[in-house]
Structure 1
Amino acid sequence: MDWRRLGTYAAVTAGTAVAVGATAAAARVATDRRRSRRRARRGDAMEFGTLHVPGVTVLATDGVPLHVEVEEPEDADAYARPTIVFCHGWVLDLDCWHYQRAALRGQARMVFWDQREHGSSGDGTPESCTLDQLGDDLKSVIDAVAPDGPLVLVGHSMGAMTVMSFAAQYGDLVRDRVDSVVLMGTSAGDLIGRRDPAALLQPWLPRFGLLVGAARRLDSYPVTRAVAVGPDSPAKYADMTDEMIARARTRALWDFAANFVDLDLYDALPALPGTRTVVMGGTKDRLTPFRHSRRLAELIVGSELVAFEGAGHMMMLERHEDVTAAIDNLWSSAPTSAHRREEVGA
């Protein structure tokens, strides 16, 4: 993860937040206008952020309300195939799966949810914002809206870490019900060196949260464009990412930061369905460099590694057709529920 770049940004934005003072409101208005103009220029066939269905609230084991949306298929036969569960990353929300949701809508049963402290889900305590708890949150979501039948689990960045944490805690469930897994733009460990500035600054991150959060909301686009997507990616993908980051809660930024300093999910990897696991990475990913994807694929025996040349961290947007095709291929090639029950001896 390019924490030096982000550390510099944090220092600059913290100073900026102090300086803006009385001009903050005017600057925010100007920023909102710029974002509106960028949205208008995109000309989305389906406007980003509009693909929603009425949500349900699932209570996590510690009582935090989790926002969940379920897309039902039009063909009854699709219910025999896996439910696809999508897990988004840090300071994003369920809208990051815009293109996959649009393409597979009506075909597959799909579950989209906001992680705690993200999107429309509730806040936990800082102490509850751990990868162990996120894996447990995923279990709560599955128990509530997909309690039986096969599953395809799709995770991006921290969402993929959520999937790995879930596998570490609920190996029997993974073995019995998870047909396939997609892990994109993620890592199982060694993400931040012990001498990296982020590790040294971590104890003080919450103190800067309010200041950095204020500056981030003034105009995060330049940093989003530089860090989140590949250098040659169309600007609209940075726009979409920026919209999610701009509306993210500052506490999510800081409450989850410590997880990346001591990240170690290697013990979870044997629980994943090796030959039915696809690992994806962007060769220009500045947040979780491609070497982490390569390492995951080496450790998950039989898995497939997909390299998106020139893509950055937001590959589900930047390479959405390829990502959707890979998910669709896993889903459509999975055995039906009846065949799955025979395989696991149910």
Structure 2
Amino acid sequence: MSPAPSRLAALAATAGAFVAAGVTAKVVDTRRREHRREQRGEEVPFGSVHSPVRTVVASDGVALNVEVDEADAAHADSAAPTVVFVHGWVCTLDTWHYQRLALRGLVRMVFYDQRSHGGSGRSTRQGSSFGQLADDLRTVLDEVVPEGPVVLVGHSMGGITVQQLAAESPELFGDRVVGAVLLSTSDNRLVRQSPALRRVLPFLRAGAPLLDWGRTFNSYSVIRRWAVGPDAPRKYADMSDEMILRAQTHVLLDFYPAFVDLDVRSGAEGLGRVPVVVACGDHDLLTPIKHARRLARTIEDARLVTLGGAGHMVPFEENVAVTRIIEDLLDRIGHPVREGDR
């Protein structure tokens, strides 16, 4: 039996009301986000610090978005390390906004978007693995830093990428790679296995466009809770929210199995050949500080830095401290970047 015309009209009206409510909520949420952006009062707007793009093609054909900031003439030195920055899951190379501003011109720096992130090309699900991310990093090094020493700086998934590279290519460490900074990261046992989630992943992937739309609603409060420390200035939560919302839902879904199976402990041997600093906020809910402590114990002679009160996004929250960690490491390996350190 077909629904009565009156019932059809009621259903249509209800559906229309839901759509209208969703559109209204979307508009309100967008306005709130714009207002928060205006309130940040940035001297240099977040997301505006860039260099000409260079495309590096990964071994499986994915185009990687790469940018290089050259040292100025006063600091140009063929013996000085190039600092290569590797961002985390659902982030972009804008993770390094503050470090880039602070160190620009003082040292050669390389930034790139990991596959499926930012301006880089989309990976297959099979290519969304730490092994492939490490291969991408090595390709970037081969193409953009073919000669000279390198210091690697990785945040979260970027730190895992560095560890995976050390596991697969330990010969690079102590030769090409002369130091590393691992921020808010882990080497194993980070995400528990969830058979139920594994089963529903195909359905979530099918609904990814809808999830992309839904994730924008009240995303700020989620990021405020999980990405930064409880006392972090509002602007850092807002910057994190702005950046993370750029990532499509498929990035979350495609990389999730890699985190469940995470085990890069074998990278400790290679990393132990060079100076390493492990740093983490003591209010990090995503990669709790116990992971940093374990990592620092595992890597020979690694230094542990605890960032009091900080959450996961330490490149924002503790940007001065993170920059100083990088500067101190460069000083430690004999290449100070500040006049006062020379």
Amino acid at match of 2:204: F
Q: Comparing 184-193 with 74-83, which one deviates more in the overlay?
A: 74-83
Q: Which has the higher helix share?
A: 1
SS at match of 2:285: coil
Amino acid at match of 2:54: V
SS at match of 2:277: strand
Aligned counterparts, 1:135-150, within 5 A: 135-150=134-149
**Contact map agreement 1:175 1:273 (CA 8 A) in 2:** no
Would the alpha carbon gap of residues 257 and 221 (structure 1) be closer, same or farther in structure 2, given more than 3 Å must change?
same
- Partner residue, 1:97: 96
**Contact map agreement 1:92 1:245 (CA 8 A) in 2:** yes
1-structure distance, mates of 2:292, 2:272: 16
2-structure distance, mates of 1:291, 1:100: 25
**Contact map agreement 2:75 2:105 (CA 8 A) in 1:** no
2-structure distance, mates of 1:326, 1:248: 28
- CA deviations 1:36-91 (Å, max 9, x no partner) are 11111111121110000111000000000000000001135344210000000000
1-structure distance, mates of 2:97, 2:185: 19
Q: Comparing 268-277 with 279-288, which one deviates more in the overlay?
A: 268-277
1-structure distance, mates of 2:188, 2:92: 23
Unaligned stretches of 5+ residues in structure 1: 1-18, 337-346
- Partner residue, 1:284: 283
Amino acid at match of 1:247: R
2-structure distance, mates of 1:23, 1:332: 56
Question: 203, 210, 217: which one pairs with 1:207?
Answer: 203
Amino acid at match of 1:96: T
Tell me the CA shift for residue 104 of structure 1: 0.2
Aligned counterparts, 1:76-87, within 5 A: 76-87=75-86
2-structure distance, mates of 1:237, 1:277: 26
**Contact map agreement 1:185 1:313 (CA 8 A) in 2:** yes
Aligned counterparts, 1:176-215, within 5 A: 176-194=175-193, 198=194, 200-209=196-205, 210=208, 211-215=210-214
- Partner residue, 1:165: 164
**Contact map agreement 1:281 1:307 (CA 8 A) in 2:** yes
1-structure distance, mates of 2:231, 2:127: 38
Question: 26, 41, 61: which one pairs with 1:63?
Answer: 61
**Contact map agreement 1:284 1:310 (CA 8 A) in 2:** yes
2-structure distance, mates of 1:84, 1:208: 38
Return the TM-score normalized by structure 1: 0.87
Aligned counterparts, 1:1-346, within 5 A: 21-74=19-72, 75-194=74-193, 198=194, 200-209=196-205, 210=208, 211-273=210-272, 276-335=275-334
Tell me the CA shift for residue 273 of structure 1: 3.9
- Partner residue, 2:4: none
Would the alpha carbon gap of residues 199 and 284 (structure 1) be closer, same or farther in structure 2, given more than 3 Å must change?
farther
Tell me the CA shift for residue 311 of structure 1: 0.6
- Partner residue, 2:7: none
Tell me the CA shift for residue 175 of structure 1: 2.8
Instruction: Work out the percentage of aligned pairs sharing the same amino acid.
Output: 48
Higher relative contact order, chain-length normalized (CA < 8 Å, sep 6+)? 1
SS at match of 2:31: helix
1-structure distance, mates of 2:215, 2:257: 20
Return the TM-score normalized by structure 2: 0.88
2-structure distance, mates of 1:52, 1:28: 30
SS at match of 1:193: coil
1-structure distance, mates of 2:131, 2:333: 28
**Contact map agreement 1:179 1:273 (CA 8 A) in 2:** no
Tell me the CA shift for residue 126 of structure 1: 0.7
**Contact map agreement 1:181 1:277 (CA 8 A) in 2:** yes
Tell me the CA shift for residue 335 of structure 1: 4.0
Unaligned stretches of 5+ residues in structure 2: 1-16, 336-342
Between the two proteins, the alignment pairs up a number of residues equal to 315
2-structure distance, mates of 1:22, 1:79: 60
**Contact map agreement 1:275 1:304 (CA 8 A) in 2:** no
**Superposed CA RMSD:** 1.6
